[in-house]
A and B are shown apart, each in its own frame.
Chain A
Amino acid sequence: MVNENLVKDVVKEPYKYGFVTDIETEKIAKGLNEDIVRLISQKKDEPKYLLDFRLKAFKKWQKMDEPDWAGLGYKQIDYQDIIYYSAPKQKEKISSLDEVDPKLLETFDKLGIPLTEQKKLTNVAVDAVFDSVSIATTFREELAEHGVIFCSISEAVKNHSDLIERYLGTVVPASDNYFAALNSAVFSDGSFVYIPKGVICPMDLSSYFRINSGDSGQFERTLIIAEESSSVSYLEGCTAPMFDTNTLHAAVVELIALDDASIKYSTVQNWYSGNEQGVGGIFNFVTKRGKCLGKRSKISWSQVETGSAITWKYPSCLLLGEESVGEFYSVALTNNLQQADTGTKMIHIGPKTKSTIVSKGISAGNSTNSYRGLVKMGTKATGSRNYSQCDSMLIGDQASANTFPYIKSQQPNSEIEHEASTCRISEEQLFYLQSRGIEFEEAISMMVSGFCRDVFNQLPMEFAAEADKLLALKLEGSVG
């Protein structure tokens, strides 16, 4: 019989990033109303079109109901008990990293993301977001030489207003869903990436999101535009301190790929997931969507989801351009009382579009881990193909693994294949490995690693070392 306690120990890695940075912050009053929305916009000195965008979204949000179809059990969120804007106090304009509060730099240093000139990661440009604002972006000049714009969205609003006005909200409209509407009304910062025509981004780009304040939510917005024949690889990471209260994170990510462009978006999500009794943790409600507008464009989502008390996240691809490609590779690990409802939507609209879905769910403790995905072939998606594979691994008999694939086809000349399976760490395999002198823990690591290999192979190699330091995934702890 497998020693279940040992298995549980292997997947149980203490949360390393639960510390709080003691820094003076500027916060606005709790609560959400039209004045708060105006105040956020005013603080960021935004143009009128953006204020109108926020107010319109806020009005829509007020009329919407919080979705309950995912069957996630969490205590009702009091939207009036959240601070919608919190920023570390610092000088208005920062011309160089030397002017960033050393405490902030130290925080990111501790998280394994050194931002200073001497220590910064080579070949990876990082945009560091602390609570509601972006505090620093590295390698900007080097990127600018290639015409690549990589900055916080607030700066983009000031310096590249035409692009923001043209693309913001075109992939995830404000009325898309409850949390997207909320984000559209109160988003505070996020990253903006623009890759000009024909440019292969010379280095990987990365955003690092850190929630520091216990009573404020984080509502960042990311917009990536890849012009014709361009290519970019982007990684986002997230951590938060350990608080007994639940913090709301409602982000929106929009990707746009034009003809022959390719965007690879990788996420390593390690928000604080609450303690063993399910107290505290981040409520993570994220809307991520990519639009393959151009012919032969490609958007690839890869994600490793290990944190958050609640995860509600369906990175999607709208495949409009002929021969465009959508990919989704996901590993979701839940432990203790975590609940994850995650998956993807592949909407095939254009002809000869292709999509691949590989999802691996690992549930341990008393957690619930669901895959929920939609594959839709529209009437014009002739010659399109989809392949989906969803595997679940159960550790212990208290965890639950669910699979809910929605498959819809209106195009006879297209093919959809879906398969799903559930397994556990088998005693025979363990016995086999142990009989060959491999330690129990290592054997488990090998098997979990093998189970997730299809997805880990998709994570950018450049980040492999960083990801390890960056987030010390609970899963990676067991993978070794």
Chain B
Amino acid sequence: MEIIEKIKTNKLVENQTEIQKICLHKLKSSPLPNPKSELWRLSNKSKFSNFLDYSVNEKDLKFDTPYPKNSQSTIRLIIGENCQIKLIKENYSIQQLSEDELDKYIKEQISCFDQNENWSDLLNLSLSCKKNILGLKINGSKIPPIEIFSNASSNSLNAKTLVILLEKNCDIELLQVNLGKEKSSLSQSTFFCLKENSSVNHGVVSYGENGSNLLNSLNVIQQKNSEYNLGSLHFKFNYARFEINIKQSEGNAKTNIKGMQITKKDEQISTYTKIDFNGPNGFLDQINKSLADDKSHAIFEGSIIVPKIAQKTDASQLSRNLLLSDLAQIDTKPQLEIIADDVKCKHGATISQLNEEELFYMRTRGITLAEASKLQLCSYFQEIISFIPVSKDRWDLLDKLLNEN
């Protein structure tokens, strides 16, 4: 593992920024995540090592997007390519954070990092050079939808970082697209801060190509009366991890998460979520779906933490999984850690295959097996896809998934 050797000798990137130095220093003491920890226990070691085999690429590589052309009504940004933005309109403003603001914010975050839980962020921030960090401050309302792209080019490891500070009473729709090219590794870390009364409809679509790898980390801090809605979709990665870390810093906030991961061939895709209620009256509604086919492996681990202060929390978490092949594997572990007594918390998990009775019903009405299965999958996917903002009309995600399966 080339990267690890370089971390140990601290020669990973030239002209290191202060943040990179801090993170590299932290990583030096534990250059690899602890394989015994629950967060990394099930991670495929050889695939993870493959992630770290590529060398860091900081060069400008043109991103040939296979996605729909930019529409006039959306704002499109590509991290590392065209990150210059300053939009000040009558009812909203989108501005880049100054270097000092960005530095300050990231350092604050690093100071709260846990070496094990935030290993992916530490790696990301030690690799991300200045131009690959995009920091935005968004204010106002009726803001056009925003699309932000991160990509990794073939035979290299790219690190992209996104920081978004959402001012009070602001609401946005944001779609983040992570694209992994053939034989590539992408490290993406996103830091979101939602101030009071703000609201976000956030979509994360990660789509890989042959042999692509992804470490995707999402850190969200919600202040009171904020609402955070996340719709996510990960598929076609040889190895992908999606780590979601949400903190309702003062409670009284609302979080809705609908995520899905689809694995085929010998892929491994995992989702780890940690929702920390740090105040009363928090709300969470989470559903995570996995579909595993061929020899693949899908993993979900979700933890809900309700300390004493978080009275009247209402949290529910559901993990629904479809196992479609004899050689595929699914691991799921929803967790509750509760101290506050006046709370409503529940979780559920199911693993099964496509419902045979439904299939039978459709076939008795003249629908072929293939069509009936497709219909079932369609309804399985639809719940998540309809929750992803911006994508609905232009992205054809459903078609893409159905044709893949």
Contact = CB atoms under 8 A, between A and B. Distances in A.
Interface stretch (B76-84, B211-219, B326-334): B326-334
A394 B338 contact: yes
Given A415-B351, A424-B341, A408 B334 contact: no
Interface stretch (A207-215, A396-404, A435-443): A396-404
Nearest to A415: B352
A342 B339 CA distance: 18
Nearest to A382: B326
Contacts of A422: 336, 338, 343-346
A413 interface: yes
Interface string B316-360: 000001011111111111111111111111111111110000000
Nearest to A426: B342
Contacts of B331: 406-408
Contact of B336 (A402, A406, A413): A402
A411 B329 CA distance: 8
Contacts of A396: 341
B350 A400 contact: no
Contacts of B332: 407-408
Interface in B340-396: 340-353
A419 B324 CA distance: 22
A144 interface: no
A39 interface: no
A458 interface: no
Count chain B CB atoms within 10 A of each CB in A377, A395, A404 and give the residue with the most.
Answer: A404
Contacts of A97: none
A431 to B, nearest CB: 15
A406 B346 CA distance: 16
A420 B346 CA distance: 5
B343 A415 contact: no
A402 B338 contact: yes
Contact of A409 (B323, B339, B345): B323
Nearest to B347: A420
Contact of B349 (A392, A398, A405, A421): A405
B268 interface: no
Interface string B128-154: 000000000000000000000000000
Given A412-B323, A413-B353, A423 B308 contact: no
A410 B331 CA distance: 9
Given A415-B352, A418-B350, A402 B337 contact: yes
Contact of B308 (A397, A403, A418): A397
B339 A420 contact: no
A401 B333 CA distance: 16
Contact of A403 (B335, B340, B341, B350): B335
Contacts of A395: 341
A379 interface: yes
B279 to A, nearest CB: 14
Contacts of B335: 402-405
A385 to B, nearest CB: 9
B278 interface: no
A419 B308 CA distance: 23
Contacts of A415: 350-352
Contacts of A423: 344
Contacts of B189: none
Contact of A401 (B329, B334, B338, B346): B338
A414 B322 CA distance: 10
A420 B319 CA distance: 12
Nearest to A393: B341
A416 B338 contact: no
A400 B353 CA distance: 35
A417 interface: yes
A379 B338 contact: no
Interface centre among B341, B347, B348 (most CB of A within 10 A): B341
Interface string A134-173: 0000000000000000000000000000000000000000
Given A409-B329, A415-B350, A424 B339 contact: no
A416 B331 CA distance: 11
A133 B144 CA distance: 78
B194 to A, nearest CB: 27
B271 interface: no
B344 A408 contact: no
Interface in A251-310: none
Counting chain A CB atoms within 10 Å of each CB, the highest count among B308, B311, B324, B338 belongs to B338
A400 B348 contact: no
Contacts of A403: 334-336, 347
A79 to B, nearest CB: 23
Most buried by B among A411, A415, A420: A420
Contacts of A400: 337-339
Contact of A416 (B334, B344, B351): B351
B327 to A, nearest CB: 8
Nearest to A420: B347
Contacts of B329: 408-410
B312 to A, nearest CB: 11
Contacts of A424: 341-343
A397 B339 CA distance: 6
A374 to B, nearest CB: 10
A412 B324 contact: yes
B209 to A, nearest CB: 27
A409 B347 contact: no
Nearest to B42: A408
A399 B324 contact: no
Nearest to A406: B333
Contacts of B353: 412-413
Interface in A318-373: none
A416 B333 contact: no
Nearest to A404: B335
Nearest to B356: A413
Contacts of A402: 335-338
Given A408-B331, A410-B329, A419 B336 contact: no
Interface in B86-138: none
A373 B118 CA distance: 27
B239 to A, nearest CB: 19
A404 B333 contact: yes
Contacts of A416: 349-352
B326 A407 contact: no
Contact of B351 (A397, A399, A409): A409
A273 B321 CA distance: 41
Contacts of B352: 414-416
A208 B18 CA distance: 66
Nearest to A385: B352
A405 B325 CA distance: 23
A411 B333 CA distance: 17
B313 to A, nearest CB: 10
Nearest to B36: A69
B323 A419 contact: no
Contacts of A377: 351
Interface of A: 377, 379, 392, 394-424
Interface of B: 308, 311, 321, 323-353
14 contacts: A377-B351, A394-B338, A401-B338, A405-B349, A406-B333, A407-B333, A413-B353, A414-B351, A417-B348, A418-B350, A419-B348, A420-B347, A423-B344, A424-B341
Given A397-B339, A407-B332, A422-B346, 13 more contacts: A400-B338, A400-B339, A404-B333, A405-B334, A407-B330, A407-B349, A407-B351, A409-B351, A410-B329, A413-B353, A416-B349, A418-B334, A420-B334
4 pairs of A and B residues whose beta carbons are closest in the complex: A394-B341, A421-B346, A418-B349, A412-B323
